[in-house]
Amino acid sequence: MLSLFTIIRRKPSLTGLQPGQVALTFDDGPNLEGNVTPDLLDVLHEYSVKAGFCIVGQQIVQHPDVVRRMYHSGHLLINHTQGHHHPIRQNAATLVEEIDACDREIGAALGIRGYRSDYFRAPFGIVTMAVRRVVRQLEMKQVLLSHYGWDTRVGPHNCESVVDLLIANAKKNDGGLFVLHDGSLCPPKIQDEDWDRSTENRSWVPTAIRRVISELQQHGLQFVLPGTTGKVCDNRLRAAA
Q: Give residue limits of the domains in the chain.
A: 12-223
pTM for this entry: 0.92
Read out DSSP for 129-190?
HHHHHHHHHHT-EE--BS----GGG--TTS-HHHHHHHHHHHHHHTEEEEEEESS--SPPSS
Contact by Cβ (8 Å): 6, 126: yes
Residue type at position 170:
A
Per-residue pLDDT of the chain (241 residues; tens, 9 = 90+): 444 578 999 999 999 999 999 999 999 999 999 999 999 999 999 999 999 999 999 999 999 999 999 999 999 999 999 999 999 989 999 999 999 999 999 999 999 999 999 999 999 999 999 999 999 999 999 999 999 999 999 999 999 999 999 999 999 999 999 999 999 998 776 777 788 899 999 999 999 999 999 999 999 999 999 975 544 344 433 333 3
Give the integer Cα–Cα distance in Å for 69 and 41.
Answer: 8
Give the integer Cα–Cα distance in Å for 222 and 238.
Answer: 29
CATH top-level class for 12-223?
alpha beta
Contact by Cβ (8 Å): 13, 179: no
